[in-house]
Amino acid sequence: MSADPTPGPEGSTLSEPVTISKIAEAAGVSVPTVSKVLNGRADVASQTRARVEELIRRHGYRRRRGPGGGRSSMIDLVFHELDSAWAIEVIRGVENVARAEGLSVVLTESGGEQTPREAWVDAVLARQSTAAILVFSDLAPEQRARLAARDIPFVVVDPAGDPGPDMPAVGSANWNGGLAATRHLIELGHRRIGVIGGPRPVLCSKARIDGYTSALDAAGIEVDPALIRYGDFHVESGRDRGRELLRLDDPPTAIFAGSDLQAMGLYEAARELGVRIPEDLSVVGYDDLPVARWVGPPLTTVRQPLTEMAEEATRMALALARGERPANLRLDLATDLVVRRSTAAPAAR
């Protein structure tokens, strides 16, 4: 929450507006061609488009807004996949802020890819969206440049990779969450504690596992690499990695499941193998989806404020669209541990 001054984009010449005809001249094309590029029309040769966009970007051309604002009243929301209870929490946050501002939300699923397809950028430019919110996905440098050239700001929610300091993003305190989950298990008396992370390269998962190892280190417990497994945040991987952990010769007495959905899979694995929760195995999830309260036993988990994160990202994107410069372009909202009934002291052996 510090108010660091944020540096402006390098090389931008905001004080020196350029006209469309100057860009057309520099690119060696007609004014209507530049207009087509600005309007995201598809009927421009890709080389020509790239040349014009590069000039637009280099000269910091800013579209003049018409009397009605000149922009459509839409905001784009992109998911890399739209397949869990997780997504609805995020959609609700974006929808809350958009509705209050009279904006409609255009929803896109990038079909499991971490980077939206090129056609998505074309569509966003064509509809002149006010801003774009990307969930757990990333833009290719060329896609960023195209949106930036047309003055369409974007904010990433819960970034998968390292978005870099100039990439606006709202996340949550993943490291602290991993630390709190593991510390809770240590305080209950557990010493053999397993963890199931998300996909290896995903930043939020790395941070949660680092929080886990730091808690063990601080308690003087040696980290056993056999107890660290990687899933994909979904139910099935929680079940599969959970089975592996529970079938070890010296199985863990507690597992930090990395996500609530992985915890659901772990519950399934435990049921199959006759392992009782929390008597034989303590489980901590991550997210605090509504389901965490309903399962038996109700799940101890790290609350990640998904709806608030999405609201914050949308507010940030709209501020950028109005030409404001928020004090911070990277925010992590706090996580906290919610203790329910899936964790207990380990049974005496």
Q: Which residues bind a second copy (CB under 8 A)?
A: 72-74, 77, 82-85, 87-88, 91-92, 95, 99, 102, 104-109, 111, 119, 123, 127, 235, 264, 267-268, 271, 290-291, 293-297
Find out whether 27 and 52 touch, Cβ atoms under 8 Å.
yes
3-state secondary structure of 4: coil
Query: CA 80 → CA 47, 101, 138, distances in Å?
Result: 28, 25, 9
Give the nearer residue to a second copy in terms of CB position, either 197 or 265. Answer: 265
Q: Which CB, 83 or 217, lies closer to a second copy?
A: 83
**Residue 146 half-sphere exposure, CB side, CA atoms within 13 Å?**
26
The burial of 214, by beta-carbon neighbours within 10 Å (0-12 exposed, 13-18 middle, 19 or more buried), is given as middle
| Residue partners of 223: CB distance under 8 A and separation at least 6 | 213, 216, 217
**Minimum gap (Å) between residue 204 Cβ and a second copy:** 20
Residue 73 or 213 having the CB closest to a second copy:
73
Q: Which C-beta is closer to a second copy: that of 162 or that of 272? A: 272
Contact 189, 204 (CB under 8 A): no
Q: Based on the number of CB atoms within 10 Å of its own CB, is 99 exposed (0-12), middle (13-18) or buried (19 or more)?
A: exposed
Min separation Cβ 216 and a second copy, Å: 28
CB nearer to a second copy: give 89 or 312: 89
Closest CB 335 distance from a second copy, rounded Å: 22
Q: Given the complex with a second copy, which of 58 and 127 has the nearer CB atom? A: 127
Q: What angle do CA 163, 167, 169 make, to 5 degrees?
A: 80
- When the beta carbons of 86 and 212 are compared against a second copy, the nearer one is 86
Nearest CB to a second copy, comparing residues 261 and 331: 261
Task: Copy the structure tokens of residue 19.
Answer: 């006209």
Shortest spacing between CB 117 and a second copy, in angstroms? 10
Q: Least distance to a second copy from the beta carbon of 296, Å?
A: 3
Measured in residues, the chain has a length of 349
CB of 100 to a second copy, least distance (A): 10
Match 């991993």 to its residue by tokens: 178
Q: Which amino acid is at 22?
A: K
Write down the least CB distance from residue 257 to a second copy, Å: 12
Shortest Cβ distance from residue 120 to a second copy (Å)? 9
Q: Which amino acid is at 33?
A: T
Rounded Cα gap, residues 331 and 119, in angstroms: 29
Name 322's Cβ contacts closer than 8 Å, sequence gap at least 6: none
